[in-house]
A and B are shown apart, each in its own frame.
Chain A
C-alpha cells in the first residue's frame, strides 16, 4: 500500500480496519477515531483521491492503492491550500474532527470540480457545480464537529471554491 507517497508493508490481522492499520501499525495518528462506526467522519482519508471513512473498511482491501492521510497533504513545510484556509477561517476548535474535515474538503472540492451532483444540486445535468453555501454544507454533512466550528469550515471551503 502506498501511504502518503511511501510504500508501506505491514502484516496484520485481515480484520484490521484501515484506521487501526494507519494509527497502530504505521504510526500515523493524524486520522482520528471518533465513533469507529462510520458515523462521524473523524477518520476520513483519501484513497486514490476519494474520501472514505477509514474505520469502516479493512486495510487489506487497499493493497496496491494510494492512501493519503492528513499527514500527507502538505508539501514539505508548505501547507495544502485547504489546510491554510482552515487556519485562516478558524475552521476548528478542539481540532479532533479537523483531519477528517480537511481530507473530506479536499476530496469534496475535487468532486465538485468534476461536476458531481449532490442532493441539493438543482440541475443534475449541469456540467459545472457552483459551490454555494448550501452545496458546501450538504457535501460536508458527513463530518461531525461537536465544537460547532461549522461556520468557519463553510467560510474556509467557500474561500477556495471562489478562488
Chain B
C-alpha cells in the first residue's frame, strides 16, 4: 500500500509539541558570540549631513560599528540591482540601516544607539501611490497584457462601469521574527544559519556584499517560525549585517529583530490602487476590461516586478475576459521595499475582478453568483486566458456548480434578504467568489530544483533539497515521496536541514511550488538509484533452474520488501538489498534534477503559457454586521477546491484553512496605519490585529473535488498560496451586506473592511438616506493618517450621481462615475485629483490605447 494520500503527522510534530524543535534563536550561544543590531534612518527620506560614531565606540561592551564603507559592495537586488543596504547619503525609508552595531549585550547595543550622533536633513517623502504618480516616480518599466479589440468593445458596449479599487498592504507577522546566526570559519569562510525561505539568495547577497566567493559561504535553515514570503528576500538584510560582523571580528554573530522593529522596518504586502473600466451586456457578461494597476513598491524594487507580473496574469481570476488591456506600474515610495507575501500579487489582481463582479450584479439588479457563473471560464470554449494560455481540464464550472449547491447558496440569499428586511440591529451579507491560481514561477529559470538522496547500509535514507520548511509541510511531503519510491516506512527517511552545501543554486521556497519542484527532484534521484538497485535485485532473483532471467523491469518494491513480480514469494528486505548492492560496489547516493516542462512567457508581447497548471476553487461566506458598532462576524464559510490528488490530505487541509484565515485578516482586521512622517503606527499585535482563534468561522466546511493533475508529481496540485484568495468571499459578503443599505449607490468598501471602515460606511449611507451630508471622520480625513487615506476610497457609483470626497489635504479625488452607453457621461472626470487621470499618466509614457477610459 502506498503511503501517498495518507495523513501522517507533520515531520516535526513531536518536536513542535515538546518544545524540542530548534529555531535560529534557540541555538545555544557560543563562547565569544556577539549580538548584532543596527541604527537606522529616522526619516522616510533624508540626507545624512554628518555621522559621528566616536562616542558610541567608547560605550563599554561595544565591539564594533560598521557603515557602508565596510562593505565590499552596497548595492543588490533580486531582479533589478537598485537596493542600497547601508545608507551612504540619502535614506529612502524609515529604519533603513545606517550603522551596524556589534556588542556583548543588548544593554550595550541600546547605549550605542543613544550615543550615535547623526545629523540628517529631512527631505520630502513620497508616501502615497497618488504622490508617486504625480511625481512620475516608478520602479522598473510599465508592464502590459493585451487581448482583442478593447476600443471596439467599449464603443459597442451595453453598459460600462468604471471605478477604483484601493487595496491595503499587510504585515507578514511570522511569529518568529527575522533572525540569523553566523559562524566564522577558516580563511574567509562563513556558516550562516538564517531564517530564510531562500538560502541560495542569502548566500549570494552575503558573498556579493562582502566580496567573498560563493563557495566560501554556506547557508543553512532547519525551519522557520513562519515565512509567508517575508523571508524570501528580506532575510538577506540581517544576514549580511551579522555576516559582516562575523567576518570582521572573527566571532560568531547573532541578529534577531524585535517584533516591533520587524514590523516597522521590513517590507509588506504591496498596497495597490487599481483603476478599472468594464464593459458588459445586459446579462452581465463582460465584453471588455481595461485596468491600470499601480503597485506601491516601496523604496526599492525587491520582487515588485514579479509581484506586479502576477497581478497582471491574475486580473482575470476565474473569469473569461475576451477583450482586455491591463497595464501595471510599480510606484516608488518612501517605505521599506514591499516584498513577496503569500499570493505574490495574485490576490491584488484577482480581487479587482471579483469587485467588478459584485458591482455588475448590483448595477443590473442580478444575483452576484449568477453573474460570476456566466463569466466563469468554460471547459471547451471561452477557456483561453488573456495571456494566451489554454486552460487544460478546467474544473472551475464544476466547482462553481457543486459548491453553490452544497452550500445552499440560493436559499441562503433569500434568508439573508429576509433577515436584513427584519433586523433593526444587524445586517447580513453573503458572497460567493472563485479562484484560479497559476502554479510555477513566472520567471522560467527558477522552475528547477535539485535533490540529494543518500541511502545508508541499514536501509535508512537522508534526503536534502533546496526546499525550506516553514510549517507548510514540504518536508513531510518529500519524506513521503521518497519513502513511497522504495516502499519503506516514512520513519526511515529523514529530510535534512536545507543547506547550500548540499543543494546549490536553488530557488526560493515560494510560488507554492516547493513540493512540485523539490519533490520531483527527489523522486528523480530515487529513480536513478532504483535503476541500479533493480539490476542487483534482478540478478539475485534470477534462477536458471526455474526459468527466470534477470529482468530489471519486474522488480517490485512493496511493504518494505523487494521481489521479482514473477516469483513474489522470494523476497529481500530493503536493507538486505542495500547491503547486497553495497557489496557489489553499487553507488547508493544520487542527485536528482527537475525542470518544469513546457512553460514560458514573454513580457515583450505579454503572452505565453507561464503556468504548468492551475489550482482552482471557490468559497462562499456569510457575515453578520452589528449596525451600531460595525463589528463583523464571519458566521459560515464553505470552501471547495481542486487540489488534484493530495500527497498528505491533512496537511493540505491545514494549508487551506490557514491561508483562508490569513487572507481574512488582510481583508478585514489588519490595518497598517501610518503617521504623516511615514512611520508605521500599528506595529504590534495590540494595534495590528491578525485573526485570533475567536475569529475562526464557527462553521467552516472545507472539501475538495476528485481530480488528477497528470502533469505534476503524484497527480497533486500546489496549495500553499491559492486558498488565501478564497477569503475574498468574506470581504465581498461585507460589500453585499452594505448593498442593502447603500440606496442607489454601489456600496463602497476599501480593504481592510475593519469595524471602523464598516461603521463609517454604515454612517455614510444612513446620513445620505436621510438627505444629510456625510463628512469623512477626522481619522479618515486628517493628515496624520495620510497614507491610510491614500487608500481609502474605492468608489464606483451607479447612474448619474456624482459627488466628491475629500481625501488628504489638497488631494481631491472625483469619484468615478458609472455611465450607460458608450462611455460618455461624466467619464471625463479625472480619476486622480492631483495630476489628471491615473490612466492618462501611463498613457503619456507608454502611448497606450487608453483613450476610451478617460
Q: Are A69 and B19 in contact (CB under 8 A)?
A: yes
CB distance from B512 to the nearest CB of A (A): 14
In whole angstroms, what is the CA distance A103 to B691 when docked?
20
Q: Are A30 and B19 in contact (CB under 8 A)?
A: yes
CB distance from B246 to the nearest CB of A (A): 20
Which among A36, A84, A96, A140 is the interface contact of B693 at CB below 8 angstroms?
A140
Contacts of B655 in A (CB 8 A): 93
Which among B228, B651, B660, B685 is the interface contact of A40 at CB below 8 angstroms?
B685
Q: Are A83 and B17 in contact (CB under 8 A)?
A: yes
Which residues in window 69-98 of A have CB below 8 A to B?
69-71, 73-74, 79, 83-84, 86-88, 90, 92-98
Contact with A along B211-226 (1 / 0, CB 8 A): 0000000000001111
In whole angstroms, what is the CA distance A137 to B661 when docked?
14
Q: Are A94 and B684 in contact (CB under 8 A)?
A: no
Contacts of A148 in B (CB 8 A): 657-662, 691, 696
One of A56-64, A109-117, A123-131, A151-159 contacting the partner: A151-159
Contacts of B259 in A (CB 8 A): 34-37, 40
CB distance from B568 to the nearest CB of A (A): 35
Contacts of A96 in B (CB 8 A): 23, 174-176, 225-226, 471
Which among B17, B26, B176, B258 is the interface contact of A102 at CB below 8 angstroms?
B17
Q: Are B692 and A93 in contact (CB under 8 A)?
A: no
In whole angstroms, what is the CA distance A108 to B17 when docked?
17
Which among A27, A34, A74, A149 is the interface contact of B658 at CB below 8 angstroms?
A149
Which residues in window 777-792 of B have CB below 8 A to A?
none
In whole angstroms, what is the CA distance A79 to B13 when docked?
12
Whether a CB of chain A sits under 8 angstroms from the CB of B25 is yes
Whether a CB of chain A sits under 8 angstroms from the CB of B18 is yes
* Closest residue on chain A to residue B658 by CB atoms: A148
Q: Are A137 and B13 in contact (CB under 8 A)?
A: no
Whether a CB of chain A sits under 8 angstroms from the CB of B567 is no
* Closest residue on chain A to residue B650 by CB atoms: A90
In whole angstroms, what is the CA distance A40 to B690 when docked?
10
Q: Are A32 and B684 in contact (CB under 8 A)?
A: no
Contacts of B654 in A (CB 8 A): 90, 93, 147, 149, 151-152
Q: Are A146 and B228 in contact (CB under 8 A)?
A: yes
Contacts of A150 in B (CB 8 A): 657, 661, 691-693, 696
Give the total of A residues in contact with B, Cβ under 8 Å.
Answer: 57
Q: Are A147 and B696 in contact (CB under 8 A)?
A: no
* Closest residue on chain B to residue A80 by CB atoms: B17
In whole angstroms, what is the CA distance A92 to B9 when docked?
10
Tell me whether A147 and B658 are in contact in the complex, defined as CB-CB below 8 angstroms, given that A87-B13, A92-B10, A95-B12 are known contacts. yes
Which residues in window 667-711 of B have CB below 8 A to A?
684-686, 690-694, 696, 698, 700
In whole angstroms, what is the CA distance A28 to B691 when docked?
29
* Closest residue on chain A to residue B17 by CB atoms: A83
Whether a CB of chain B sits under 8 angstroms from the CB of A138 is yes
Whether a CB of chain B sits under 8 angstroms from the CB of A65 is no
Whether a CB of chain A sits under 8 angstroms from the CB of B728 is no
Q: Are B693 and A137 in contact (CB under 8 A)?
A: yes
In whole angstroms, what is the CA distance A87 to B653 when docked?
15
Whether a CB of chain A sits under 8 angstroms from the CB of B448 is no
Whether a CB of chain A sits under 8 angstroms from the CB of B14 is yes
Q: Are B224 and A70 in contact (CB under 8 A)?
A: no
Q: Are B10 and A154 in contact (CB under 8 A)?
A: no
Which residues in window 443-495 of B have CB below 8 A to A?
470-473
Contacts of B258 in A (CB 8 A): 36
Tell me whether A93 and B694 are in contact in the complex, defined as CB-CB below 8 angstroms, given that A83-B17, A98-B17, A146-B662 are known contacts. no
Which among B14, B23, B472, B684 is the interface contact of A93 at CB below 8 angstroms?
B472
Contacts of B21 in A (CB 8 A): 95
Which among B225, B473, B685 is the interface contact of A35 at CB below 8 angstroms?
B685
Contact with A along B25-49 (1 / 0, CB 8 A): 1101100000000000000000000
Whether a CB of chain A sits under 8 angstroms from the CB of B401 is no
Contact with B along A45-61 (1 / 0, CB 8 A): 00000000000000000
Tell me whether A30 and B20 are in contact in the complex, defined as CB-CB below 8 angstroms, given that A138-B694, A147-B226 are known contacts. yes
Which residues in window 711-763 of B have CB below 8 A to A?
none
Which residues in window 1-57 of A have CB below 8 A to B?
23-24, 27-37, 39-40, 42
Whether a CB of chain A sits under 8 angstroms from the CB of B543 is no
Contacts of A99 in B (CB 8 A): 19
Whether a CB of chain A sits under 8 angstroms from the CB of B613 is no
Whether a CB of chain A sits under 8 angstroms from the CB of B15 is yes
* Closest residue on chain A to residue B473 by CB atoms: A93
Tell me whether A33 and B16 are in contact in the complex, defined as CB-CB below 8 angstroms, given that A94-B223, A138-B694 are known contacts. no
Contacts of B696 in A (CB 8 A): 137, 148, 150-151, 154
> Counting chain B CB atoms within 10 Å of each CB, which of A33, A141, A143 scores highest?
A33
In whole angstroms, what is the CA distance A140 to B13 when docked?
20
Contacts of B26 in A (CB 8 A): 23, 29
Contacts of A145 in B (CB 8 A): 175, 693
Which among B18, B471, B690 is the interface contact of A30 at CB below 8 angstroms?
B18
In whole angstroms, what is the CA distance A95 to B224 when docked?
9
> Counting chain A CB atoms within 10 Å of each CB, which of B18, B175, B228 scores highest?
B175
Contacts of B470 in A (CB 8 A): 93-94
In whole angstroms, what is the CA distance A69 to B19 when docked?
9
Whether a CB of chain A sits under 8 angstroms from the CB of B320 is no
Which among B473, B686, B694 is the interface contact of A37 at CB below 8 angstroms?
B686
* Closest residue on chain A to residue B665 by CB atoms: A148
Q: Are B692 and A144 in contact (CB under 8 A)?
A: yes
* Closest residue on chain B to residue A96 by CB atoms: B225
In whole angstroms, what is the CA distance A71 to B20 when docked?
8
In whole angstroms, what is the CA distance A149 to B660 when docked?
11
In whole angstroms, what is the CA distance A148 to B342 when docked?
13
Whether a CB of chain A sits under 8 angstroms from the CB of B68 is no
Tell me whether A92 and B694 are in contact in the complex, defined as CB-CB below 8 angstroms, given that A87-B13, A144-B175, A146-B173 are known contacts. no
Tell me whether A95 and B658 are in contact in the complex, defined as CB-CB below 8 angstroms, given that A30-B18, A137-B696, A144-B692 are known contacts. no
Q: Are A95 and B14 in contact (CB under 8 A)?
A: no
CB distance from B263 to the nearest CB of A (A): 9
In whole angstroms, what is the CA distance A35 to B690 when docked?
13
Contacts of A24 in B (CB 8 A): 29
In whole angstroms, what is the CA distance A142 to B472 when docked?
23
Contacts of A35 in B (CB 8 A): 259-260, 684-685
CB distance from A3 to the nearest CB of B (A): 13
Contacts of A36 in B (CB 8 A): 258-259
Tell me whether A153 and B693 are in contact in the complex, defined as CB-CB below 8 angstroms, given that A90-B9, A90-B651 are known contacts. yes
Contacts of B659 in A (CB 8 A): 148
Tell me whether A146 and B174 are in contact in the complex, defined as CB-CB below 8 angstroms, given that A37-B259, A90-B9, A93-B472 are known contacts. yes
Tell me whether A70 and B471 are in contact in the complex, defined as CB-CB below 8 angstroms, given that A144-B692, A146-B662 are known contacts. no
Q: Are A154 and B693 in contact (CB under 8 A)?
A: yes
Q: Are A74 and B18 in contact (CB under 8 A)?
A: yes
Contacts of B658 in A (CB 8 A): 93, 147-149
CB distance from B632 to the nearest CB of A (A): 16
Tell me whether A32 and B685 are in contact in the complex, defined as CB-CB below 8 angstroms, given that A79-B18, A93-B10 are known contacts. no
CB distance from A76 to the nearest CB of B (A): 11
Q: Are A70 and B18 in contact (CB under 8 A)?
A: yes
Tell me whether A95 and B684 are in contact in the complex, defined as CB-CB below 8 angstroms, given that A31-B19, A83-B17 are known contacts. no
In whole angstroms, what is the CA distance A32 to B25 when docked?
9
Contacts of B471 in A (CB 8 A): 92-96, 147
Q: Are A144 and B690 in contact (CB under 8 A)?
A: yes
Contacts of A143 in B (CB 8 A): 692-693
10 pairs of residues in contact across A and B, judged by CB atoms under 8 Å = A40-B175, A84-B17, A90-B650, A92-B16, A94-B223, A138-B694, A141-B693, A145-B693, A146-B174, A149-B658
Give the top 7 A-B pairs by smallest Cβ distance, nearest first. Answer: A30-B19, A94-B471, A96-B225, A93-B471, A95-B16, A148-B661, A70-B19
B interface residues with partner A (beta carbon < 8 Å): 9-10, 12-23, 25-26, 28-29, 172-176, 223-226, 228, 258-260, 470-473, 650-651, 653-655, 657-662, 684-686, 690-694, 696, 698, 700
9 extra A-B contacts, CB within 8 A, seeds A39-B686, A148-B657: A35-B685, A92-B10, A92-B16, A92-B17, A98-B17, A146-B226, A148-B658, A148-B691, A152-B654
